[in-house]
């Protein structure tokens, strides 16, 4: 274990690809995110819409997992999940949430904090209809975060549902749908040499965005 600790402590990467300054960013953080997201896509970042979603219980016990961003605009950042999962239960009791995007190929992070709102049934239906049939059946099959006896439970339930819904017209389960995170702060992080990274923070104040630089 001592050798492993030493190995971990020698892992180093000095960031030197790009810079980020207040004068260069868009006054609108959503448009700045769109710019960076497009650059991540153009750079062929592996799953650029993958993000860490951090939630917490009502008494503040945190949990985090990787999900996929499915839309973003001035209203917020959208993802989909099972409402009765661990995260769904936590969101119901504590809607505060944080998102984290990490694009190592560009030496960038984006941190977003805000409050989650459940999408309308109509909006969730629209997205659900766009999913592949296998993903639709998967949403029905898994009682996400609940204990199951073994893998066979999933496989047998999937086969049963596949026979029940033989075509593409699989309805959305009522316990599955979308959330929109309405941001109150968005931070853009650009790696720089000597760990003196560039950090630009947008904070929502009186329906306007204040832009500040943070120490790394």
Using a 10 angstrom Cβ sphere, with 0-12 exposed, 13-18 middle and 19 or more buried, the burial of residue 81 is buried
Q: How far apart are CA 2 and CA 105, in angstroms?
A: 30
Q: What is the DSSP string of 85-119?
A: SHHHHHHHH--EEEEEEEEGGGTEEEEEEEEEEEP
To the query of whether residue 195 is one of the catalytic residues in this protein, the response is: yes
pLDDT at 8: 83
Decide: helix, strand or coil at residue 210.
strand
CA distance 162 to 137: 7
Q: Which residues contact 47 (CB under 8 A, 6 or more apart)?
A: 68
CA angle in degrees (0–180, nearest 5) for 107-111-114: 170
Give me the residue spans of the domains in the chain: 12-128+176-214
pTM for this prediction? 0.93
**Which two tokens mark 85?**
């999962």
What's the length of the chain? 216
pLDDT at 1: 63
Q: What is the Cα–Cα distance from 63 to 61, expressed in whole angstroms?
A: 7
**pLDDT of res. 117:** 98
Choose the catalytic residue: 65, 86, 151, 195.
195
Distances (CA, A) of 117 to 169, 171, 177: 27, 22, 11
CATH class of 12-128+176-214: mainly beta
Query: Which stretches of the chain are DSSP H helices?
Result: 2-10, 29-42, 86-93, 121-130, 133-141, 151-164
Can you give the pLDDT at residue 15?
A: 80
pLDDT per residue as tens digits for the range 131-164: 999 999 999 999 999 999 999 999 999 999 999 9
Contact 196, 208 (CB under 8 A): no
Residues of the chain with pLDDT under 50: none
């Amino acid at each position: 274990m001592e050798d492993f600790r030493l190995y971990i402590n020698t892992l180093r990467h000095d960031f030197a690809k790009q810079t980020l300054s207040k004068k260069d960013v868009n006054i609108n953080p959503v448009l700045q995110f769109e710019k960076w997201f497009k650059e991540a896509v153009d750079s062929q970042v592996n799953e650029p819409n993958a993000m860490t979603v951090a939630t917490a219980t009502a008494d503040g016990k945190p949990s985090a997992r990787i999900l996929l961003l499915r839309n973003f605009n001035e209203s917020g950042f959208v993802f989909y999940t099972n409402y009765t999962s661990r995260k769904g239960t936590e969101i119901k009791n504590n809607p505060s949430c944080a998102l984290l995007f990490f694009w190592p190929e560009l030496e960038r992070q984006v941190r977003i904090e805000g409050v989650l709102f459940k999408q309308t049934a109509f909006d969730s239906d629209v997205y659900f209809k766009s999913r592949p049939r296998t993903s639709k059946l998967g949403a029905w099959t898994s009682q996400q975060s609940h204990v199951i006896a073994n893998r066979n439970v999933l496989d047998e339930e999937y086969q049963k549902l596949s026979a029940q819904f033989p075509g593409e017209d699989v309805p959305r389960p009522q316990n599955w749908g979308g959330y929109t995170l309405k941001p109150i702060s968005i931070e853009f992080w650009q790696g720089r040499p000597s760990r003196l990274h560039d950090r630009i923070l947008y904070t929502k104040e009186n329906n306007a965005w204040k832009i500040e630089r943070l120490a790394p």
